[in-house]
Chain A
């Protein structure tokens, strides 16, 4: 019996690597610590009623952001491990298998479990406030989306210590990712982790399209929406069209692996190239899904801190929408070297270049928003200003890559790696950081320490250039991505060492950010006014953090930058709008179903990974029961009475 358990455990847990053993021990210890703290302070009930079952978009947003910062930490540690290995390949710091796992998880985590949830977090917190709504269109579905993401991410991450990590690259090209190439469980964790969180993302896409189209405050026309809302709309429409393709692709790969089908196998008439096409038909729009909201954030910030209206609003909207449209017609530029022939390559090279046009126009519009403005250098604005040159250069190398015949020399090299890190860090990460700093006071009711934020900013930026500029050079020196070791003769080592130094500078920057948050909590200073930055849009018209119902009275919107105009009107001595009488507010009730249902999905996924039907089937039945339970529950909402609203408002505004 004991032997059996031992044998099982050695298969179940990843063993034999001191790094992983360390991680297992620390994960175990922190779990114990968390459970202890929650029990000691009697916080279990609080956790359940206030957070796990919450359908409040603001709380869900905060949970998204916390999860994404944890994932940023893990993805970042992966990156540092890779950089250490590449700086000194002769030391064999990581075994090849381990290195392959790390670059795979780094990619998946950074895109799907860091960028996406950080983006959804900002959607959740900002969109309803900016359009003057009290919640998203489907709060229950919103909570479900979050928990699906969360449990999907956990399922993916657990493979690190249980069963083994995936190691076929972040997009898992078959036949390498088929059973023949990856017989281990890592690839199954990959499929189920991404699949479960992907369904959540799809639901979020639908949710926000409906929210934006149907729940705007009275009077707000589409062409009066804040630019961030437009960017969310374009991003969510892209999600709606792209994510079903991912769902199908992963499902087919799963069927191949689990039931022995032949979609992408080498034998049986399967077609691995079809996978590569399908995954990029999702994968390319995916990068636009994460960059478009960053564009929206920059638009908001650049206008707020230049104290000036956003320049070229209509152009900006048109650019967003056309980028989202064209993003579906460029996928093959990820494999110009597949020998698709000149016609195909020429077509996809042109569509790729086409996207550079609206993107370039946006840069000019941001510049001319600053032009004749009054720029203040707060942290959000610094990230925005740093973004422009970074993205311009990253965009330019992107155009170079789109030149199909030249791409034959760039493809799969460090030039490509440097390019996409430059647009993803310089664009997406800088953008979301800017957004996080900008809306932080709105989320929590206090500001982050500016000085520490600036230290973090400079470390991030310098670290970024030191890390990635050498990689362009390495690409031109012929260094291929995903190499875990290289010949010393090639002369790649000095630049690799420089690049590693840069990566550690970014690591230090992250520590500064954690310190900044801790410091700001320690020296908590309540925001007295909801309008932290003298903002322009509706979210700044209400107290920070916003009350449960956001707006006691739904605002009447007459212009773009409604709150700014309102402040101008008051400053000019015009009478404030008369206040309508308060009315009871209709709100959704909290529900435990999303959490339980996602837990059931996790159970089912885990069961399928291990091929334990005794676990997978009850998991799926649990999912079905949760759905039915939801369908049969009619008591899903309630009203906040007027006197309660009056009390809350008095308390919030009374501190003025």
Chain B
């Protein structure tokens, strides 16, 4: 961005200030747009939760969640994801201090935690399939796999995105644009954390109890 600003500013002098404001507007507008996107994502997850609640008893004579779900692993996963939300927060603090290396380091830790969350989730799914519960077993398991899987997919997309962002940060440093990007992904990451708390409560806690 910096060069885009400096070029015309150099050519026409005096307007540099206005451009800077324009960029600021652009970035804040993107942030606002992302908030709106999150609203639509809330609706998306809300619909999935609704289908899960409607279908929660429709095990069709097959295994129930209470029989197969193992809480120990899930509690570890939850702990990992919550920690990653915390570390992404530290990353933003480092960014605000202007510490590029700290920012990338904490983002990397966040991504690592996210990756281990996904690893555990995939393991859980494999375990469930071995126990005889796959997506076609019954409506309950369809709803389970799609709801939990959609969250997992969101986390995975976040991981790829985070890695791409780390590369960009190492190349371009902390600029208004990369700053906004870090802000957005940490917002996204916190959001997924909140969604997970609902998954944990509704799917696991209430399912097992």
In their complex, do chains A and B touch, with some C-beta pair under 8 Å? yes
Once the chains bind, are B139 and A268 in contact (CB under 8 Å)? Answer: yes
Q: A584-B8, A637-B4 are in contact. Are A274 and B32 (CB under 8 A)?
A: no
User: Could you tell me which residues of chain B, from 132 to 155, have a CB within 8 Å of some CB in chain A?
Assistant: 135-140, 142-143, 145-146
Q: A207-B33, A209-B36, A274-B54 are in contact. Are A635 and B140 (CB under 8 A)?
A: no
Secondary structure at the B interface, as helix, strand, loop or mixed, is helix
Binds B, one of A144-152, A242-250, A517-525, A597-605: A242-250
1/0 contact string of A294-337 vs chain B (CB within 8 Å): 00000000000000000000000000000000000000000000
Kindly state whether residue A202 has any CB partner on chain B within 8 Å.
Answer: yes
1/0 contact string of A177-210 vs chain B (CB within 8 Å): 0000000000000000000000000100111011
Once the chains bind, are A632 and B140 in contact (CB under 8 Å)? Answer: no
Which chain A residues lie closer than 8 Å to B18 at the CB level?
A: 583
A270's partner among B40, B139, B177 (CB-CB below 8 A) is: B139
Which chain B residues lie closer than 8 Å to A210 at the CB level?
A: 29, 32-33, 36
A255's partner among B36, B58, B142, B165 (CB-CB below 8 A) is: B142
Kindly state whether residue B209 has any CB partner on chain A within 8 Å.
Answer: no
B47's partner among A138, A240, A248, A265 (CB-CB below 8 A) is: A248
Which chain A residues lie closer than 8 Å to B25 at the CB level?
A: 214
Kindly state whether residue A271 has any CB partner on chain B within 8 Å.
Answer: yes
Kindly state whether residue B60 has any CB partner on chain A within 8 Å.
Answer: yes
Q: Using a Cβ cutoff of 8 Å, how many contacts connect chains A and B? A: 135
CA distance A298 to B42 in the complex (A): 34
A262's partner among B11, B36, B136 (CB-CB below 8 A) is: B136
Beta-carbon nearest neighbor of A637 in chain B: B4
Q: Interface size (B, Cβ < 8 Å)? A: 49
Once the chains bind, are A202 and B32 in contact (CB under 8 Å)? Answer: no
Which chain B residues lie closer than 8 Å to A251 at the CB level?
A: 146
CA distance A380 to B109 in the complex (A): 61
Q: A210-B36, A631-B168 are in contact. Are A271 and B54 (CB under 8 A)?
A: yes
Which chain A residues lie closer than 8 Å to B36 at the CB level?
A: 206, 209-210, 240
B104 to chain A, nearest CB (A): 16
Once the chains bind, are A137 and B7 in contact (CB under 8 Å)? Answer: no
Binds B, one of A18-26, A368-376, A638-646: A638-646
Once the chains bind, are A259 and B8 in contact (CB under 8 Å)? Answer: no
Once the chains bind, are A206 and B37 in contact (CB under 8 Å)? Answer: yes
A632's partner among B37, B44, B164 (CB-CB below 8 A) is: B164
Kindly state whether residue B55 has any CB partner on chain A within 8 Å.
Answer: yes
Beta-carbon nearest neighbor of B12 in chain A: A584
CA distance A207 to B181 in the complex (A): 18
Once the chains bind, are B164 and A274 in contact (CB under 8 Å)? Answer: no
CA distance A199 to B60 in the complex (A): 33
CA distance A244 to B50 in the complex (A): 13
Which chain A residues lie closer than 8 Å to B7 at the CB level?
A: 639
CA distance A255 to B58 in the complex (A): 17
Once the chains bind, are B32 and A268 in contact (CB under 8 Å)? Answer: no
Once the chains bind, are A137 and B33 in contact (CB under 8 Å)? Answer: yes
User: Could you tell me which residues of chain A, from 273 to 296, have a CB within 8 Å of some CB in chain B?
Assistant: 274, 278
1/0 contact string of A145-183 vs chain B (CB within 8 Å): 000000000000000000000000000000000000000
On A, residues with C-beta under 8 Å from B are 137-138, 202, 205-207, 209-210, 213-215, 240-241, 243-245, 247-249, 251-252, 255-256, 259-263, 265, 267-271, 274, 278, 583-584, 586, 624, 628, 631-632, 634-635, 637-639, 641-642
Q: 20 more A-B contacts (CB under 8 A) besides A209-B36, A267-B60, A270-B58? A: A137-B33, A206-B33, A207-B33, A214-B32, A241-B39, A241-B40, A241-B43, A244-B43, A261-B142, A262-B58, A268-B138, A269-B59, A271-B55, A274-B54, A586-B22, A624-B160, A628-B160, A634-B177, A638-B4, A639-B19
17 contacts between A and B (CB under 8 A): A241-B43, A243-B40, A244-B43, A249-B47, A265-B139, A268-B58, A268-B60, A268-B136, A268-B137, A269-B55, A269-B138, A270-B139, A583-B18, A584-B8, A632-B167, A639-B7, A642-B12
